[in-house]
Amino acid sequence: MADSFLLNGKNASFEPGQTILEAAGNNGITIPTLCHLKGTTPTGACRICLVEVAGARTLMAACSTPVSTGMDVRTDTDRVHQSRKLVVELLLSSGRHDCMVCEANGDCRLQDLAYFYGIKEPRFKQADEFYPVEDRNPFIVRDFSRCILCGRCVQACNEVVVNRAISLGYRGAETKIVTGGDKAYDESDCVFCGQCVQACPVGALTEKKAVGLARTWETRKIRTTCPYCGVGCQMWLHVKDGRITKTTAVEDAEPNRGRLCIKGRFGYDFLYSGERLKTPLIRENGNFREASWDEALDLVAAKFKDTIDRFGPDSVAGVSCARSLNEDSYQMQKLFRAVFGTNNIDHCART
């Protein structure tokens, strides 16, 4: 039986080991946060999720404070909202958060909080010196002037995909997100899976190829399966006017649970290549001509049959493509073994 605590004056249940943030969410109470990343170690870095706990002198970070039986938690008091608003104002003053020209406009958690608290302009002096923008690699733009140091990208890299390419570096006002030796992404251990981009709650990390293509509200999301291998990773296509502007992973979907590799996240533009084959081609007299699928498949079948009749089953072999579904690879080996009568079947991923 689940334990209980008081949440905004009402009894609420929780499971042992849960934080206030998790328990509140399970009881229908949303506590805002900028640094929390599901499935990773809580850091309490952003201080947006502060709540009142009876008996505690200071406000507590809901993302890193465990619930205990009988705890009295308040999430919607004047003190809580004043503190959260102050944190948002400080974050807005710490960087160049000009939403009109930011790629994250409409999909920015800091912007959402500023709107919620009616912050029209920061009351603190805004910083005017920032680390330079890094856009030298073909996949990710890092704009340090928009970084709020929430640490979500670090957690995504170290705990979600476990690549350990980035971390927090330096101290105090000089703190920044760094790779080993504070190198550029393309000189580091980064494998460009883009998990950091998906985790970023603001516009500090953006997909380079998507810059300027569409605002968030101009696109519609279409769920599909990544075409690059047989794993079956689930992804969202962000589409504007019938063209993909970017892809993101589907959170909590099996089997990838919000993860994508470099191919799945950044390799979608092959769809628009002028060199992409759209119809089967048959070689005749040294040149290719377009053919129907029926004609092409009949020709392939005839060639297989003729070769097997003349030289035996082991004269043919097949290599299944890693882009195929696992079911397709199974069917291909079944074709060669059960129909052709040979075990000469391989898969490109094995090599």
CA atoms within 13 A on the CB side of 91: 28
Identify the pLDDT of residue 323: 79
**Dihedral sign computed on CA atoms, order 160, 165, 168, 174:** negative
Write down the H helix ranges in the chain.
20-26, 78-93, 109-116, 152-155, 195-199, 262-266, 293-311, 326-334
Number of separate domains in the chain: 2
Identify the pLDDT of residue 209: 94
- pTM as predicted: 0.85
Domain end among 42, 76, 110: 76
Domain end among 76, 92, 120: 76
Backbone angles phi and psi of 225, in degrees to 5? -105, 135
Identify the pLDDT of residue 228: 87
Identify the pLDDT of residue 300: 95
**Residue 244: strand, helix, or coil:** strand
60: in domain: yes
67: in domain: yes
84: in domain: no
CATH code at 34? 3.10.20.740
Identify the pLDDT of residue 80: 97
Backbone angles phi and psi of 295, in degrees to 5? -65, -45
Identify the pLDDT of residue 2: 66
Cα distances (angstroms) measured from residue 349 to each of 57, 214, 270, 326 = 58, 36, 21, 12
318: in domain: yes
Domain that holds residue 68: 3-76
Dist CA 231 CA 235 (whole Å): 12
Per-residue pLDDT of the chain (351 residues; tens, 9 = 90+): 568 999 999 999 999 999 999 999 999 999 999 999 999 999 999 999 999 999 999 999 999 999 999 999 999 999 999 999 999 999 999 999 989 899 999 999 999 999 999 998 878 988 889 999 999 999 999 999 999 999 999 999 999 999 999 999 999 989 999 998 899 999 999 999 999 999 999 999 999 999 999 999 999 999 999 988 878 899 999 999 999 999 999 999 999 999 999 999 999 988 999 998 989 999 999 999 999 999 999 999 999 999 999 999 999 999 998 878 788 889 999 999 999 999 999 988 776
Cα distances (angstroms) measured from residue 67 to each of 63, 98, 116 = 10, 38, 27
Position 330, amino acid: Y
- Residue 27, both tokens: 């009881």
38: in domain: yes
277: in domain: no
Domain end among 48, 76, 104: 76
User: Residue 255: is the preceding peptide bond cis (ω within 30°)?
Assistant: yes
42: in domain: yes
38: nearest Cα among 263, 179, 249, 191: 249
340: in domain: yes
Q: Which helix (H) or strand (E) holds 284?
A: strand 281-284
- Residue 194, both tokens: 């883009």
The vertex-282 CA angle with 277 and 287, nearest 5°, equals 95
